[in-house]
């Protein structure tokens, strides 16, 4: 029996070592999962747009961003009555973050990083911060430029050439297009704006349902000039289509995308870090890589500096019109411009 004792001891130690190793390996496999931090995000942005940012942030920062896509109405309703899945951050347009602040749903958050963003792009008391914007531009077919030489650079020049074929997104179909109407009214007044839109109405080949359509029509030569957002037109430019972008000299409207910290955020520290990351170069690099072309609000980013030379003049529409007033204005545009009844 003694001669077998060393063999039995060796077998026992081998089994013990294997068991300990297996236990530790299993524990090690579970440990990172337990340590992964979370940020719960509510957003009205397209899923494909926010997904690339969430994926990159999770990969590099070891923080899982749980994305819940919602409509504007759903987002506000969830924030007001959500008990099961409390949001940490919201990313949406300026109008909705202003509404959320009005309903006391946000927490003020300021930092050195966010303080460098121009005041026009953030709340005066730090309840929300603009992270990028998308201006309305003139997308012009390059063949038209070659054949005609001079390109309209002002809103007032669009109706001076009655052979200029135009495309624009229907004001009833998209927020960015409607925002252009509100911005023009805020600068020129309702009567003058509607009179202007009446003048260019005969030249408009199509009032499209989608923001991308005017840019697509320009790229195919179906119209000479499309009134659209930069992000859509720039895709065609970068894909080699004969499209050139111009920024209206008198100024133009824009859609501002903003991030805000939700009041009572369960992952407060992680949420603040995520908001700051969204204003930095890496976030813009991810967007551009995936063909989302916006202008960042942070003047220290590379992309912002590239656009600073283009002298883009923005019209700051201050959301003075209520929902009811906006609807009345849209109805009046349909009656007087689209249908020509008045």
**Quick one: pLDDT at residue 280?**
97
Q: pLDDT tens, 233-252?
A: 999 999 999 999 999 999 99
CA distance 124 to 189: 27
Tell me how crowded residue 205 is: count the other CB atoms within 10 A of its CB: 15
Band (84; pLDDT cuts 50, 70, 90): low
Spatial neighbors of 258 by CB under 8 A, at least 6 apart, are 91, 92, 93, 94, 97, 122, 128, 129, 130, 131
Band (174; pLDDT cuts 50, 70, 90): confident
**Quick one: pLDDT at residue 322?**
78
Band (209; pLDDT cuts 50, 70, 90): very high
Q: Which two tokens stand for residue 284?
A: 């813009």
Band (22; pLDDT cuts 50, 70, 90): very low
- Residue 85 pLDDT greater than 80, yes or no: no
**Quick one: pLDDT at residue 216?**
97
Q: pLDDT tens, 227-237?
A: 999 999 999 99
What b/e sequence results for 227-240 when a residue is b if at least 16 CB atoms lie within 10 Å of its CB, and e otherwise? bbbbbbbbbbbeee
The region, left, alpha or beta by phi > 0 then psi within -120 to 50, assigned to residue 254 is beta
Short-list 283, 286, 276, 262, CA closest to 68: 262
Q: pLDDT tens, 275-308?
A: 999 999 999 999 999 999 999 999 999 999 999 8
CA distance 68 to 324: 28
More confident residue, 131 or 160: 131
Q: In CATH, what number does 135-253+317-338 get?
A: 3.40.190.10
Q: pLDDT tens, 124-145?
A: 999 999 999 999 999 999 999 9
Mean pLDDT of 185-190: 87
**Quick one: pLDDT at residue 318?**
60
DSSP 8-state class, residue 159? T
Mean pLDDT of 253-279: 96
**Quick one: pLDDT at residue 19?**
41
**Quick one: pLDDT at residue 98?**
94
CB 288 within 8 A of CB 234: no
Mean pLDDT of 209-222: 95
Band (17; pLDDT cuts 50, 70, 90): very low
**Quick one: pLDDT at residue 183?**
87
CB 213 within 8 A of CB 162: no
Band (311; pLDDT cuts 50, 70, 90): confident
Q: What percent of the chain has pLDDT over 70?
A: 87
CA distance 198 to 69: 37
- Residue range 35-133+254-309 forms a domain whose CATH class is alpha beta
**Quick one: pLDDT at residue 28?**
47
More confident residue, 29 or 219: 219
Q: Which two tokens stand for residue 154?
A: 């002002």
- Stretch(es) of the chain classified as CATH 3.40.190.10: 35-133+254-309, 135-253+317-338
Q: Which stretches within the chain are classed as H helix?
A: 5-35, 47-61, 72-81, 94-102, 112-115, 142-148, 175-188, 190-200, 212-219, 230-238, 268-278, 281-289, 302-307, 323-333
Output Rg (C-alpha) for the chain, integer angstroms: 27
What predicted TM-score, i.e. pTM, was given to this entire model? 0.86
CB 252 within 8 A of CB 311: no
CA distance 117 to 133: 12
């Amino acid at each position: 029996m003694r001669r077998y004792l060393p063999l039995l001891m060796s077998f026992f130690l081998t089994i013990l070592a294997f068991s300990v190793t297996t236990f530790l390996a299993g524990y090690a496999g579970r440990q990172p999962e337990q340590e992964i931090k979370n940020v719960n995000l509510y957003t009205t942005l397209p899923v494909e747009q926010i997904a690339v940012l969430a994926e990159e942030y999770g990969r590099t920062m070891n923080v899982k961003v749980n994305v819940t896509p919602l409509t504007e109405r759903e987002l506000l309703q969830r924030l007001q009555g959500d008990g099961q899945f409390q949001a940490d951050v919201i990313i949406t347009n300026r109008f909705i973050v202003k509404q959320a602040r009005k309903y006391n749903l946000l927490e003020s958050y300021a930092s050195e990083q966010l303080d460098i963003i121009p005041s026009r792009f953030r709340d005066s008391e730090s309840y929300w911060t603009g992270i990028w914007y998308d201006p309305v531009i003139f997308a012009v077919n390059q063949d038209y430029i070659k054949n005609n030489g001079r390109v309209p650079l002002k809103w007032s020049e669009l109706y001076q050439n009655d052979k200029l074929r135009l495309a624009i997104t229907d004001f009833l179909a998209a927020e960015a297009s409607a925002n252009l109407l509100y911005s023009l009214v805020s600068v020129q007044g309702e009567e003058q704006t509607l009179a202007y839109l009446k003048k260019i109405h005969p030249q408009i080949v199509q009032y499209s349902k989608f923001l991308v359509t005017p840019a697509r029509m320009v790229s195919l030569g179906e119209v000479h000039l499309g009134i659209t957002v930069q992000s859509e037109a720039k895709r065609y430019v970068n894909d080699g289509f004969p499209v050139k972008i111009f920024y209206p000299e008198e100024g133009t409207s824009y859609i501002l995308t903003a991030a805000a910290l939700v009041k009572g955020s369960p992952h407060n520290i992680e949420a603040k870090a995520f908001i700051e990351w969204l204003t930095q170069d890496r976030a813009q690099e991810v967007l551009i890589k995936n063909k989302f072309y916006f202008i960042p609000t942070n003047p220290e980013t590379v992309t912002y500096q590239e656009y600073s030379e283009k002298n883009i003049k923005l019209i700051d529409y201050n959301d003075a019109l209520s929902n009811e007033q906006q609807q009345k204005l849209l109805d009046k545009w349909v009656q007087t411009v689209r249908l020509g009844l008045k």
